[in-house]
C-alpha cells in the first residue's frame, strides 16, 4: 500500500503542475473491470497533452493495462448544440 501511495503521490504532484487542467477521477467498480476512470477538463489542449505525456513516463503508468483514446469537445449548452445540428 505504501509503494502504491508513493506512485499516486507522483501523479498528484504532476497534476498540480498543470492548474489549468481540471482532473476528475471516479472509481469505476463494475465498469469494464477498471479500477478508476479519469476525465480532464480545460481550455488549453497543449497543456492537456503535456500533462498526459508527463504522466505516461511515471512508474504508476507501467501498470496501465489499457489506455483508451482521448475525446475532445467544446462544452456548451445543449440547445445551442441541437440548433447547430439542425
- Grouped pLDDT means (10 residues each) for the chain, 86 residues: 86 91 80 72 88 88 73 84 90
Three-state secondary structure readout of 1-25: CHHHHHHHHHHHHHHHCCCCCEEEE
| pLDDT the model gives residue 34 | 64
| pLDDT the model gives residue 83 | 93
Cα distance between residue 41 and residue 28, in whole Å: 19
* Whole-prediction pTM: 0.65
Amino acid at each position: 500500500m505504501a509503494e502504491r501511495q508513493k506512485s499516486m503521490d507522483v501523479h498528484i504532484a504532476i497534476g498540480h503542475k498543470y492548474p489549468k487542467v481540471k482532473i476528475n477521477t471516479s472509481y469505476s467498480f463494475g465498469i469494464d473491470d477498471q479500477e478508476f476512470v479519469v476525465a480532464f477538463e480545460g481550455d488549453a489542449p497543449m497543456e492537456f497533452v503535456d500533462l498526459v505525456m508527463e504522466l505516461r513516463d511515471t512508474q504508476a503508468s507501467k501498470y496501465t493495462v489499457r489506455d483508451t483514446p482521448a475525446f475532445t469537445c467544446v462544452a456548451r449548452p445543449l440547445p445551442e448544440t441541437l440548433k447547430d445540428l439542425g
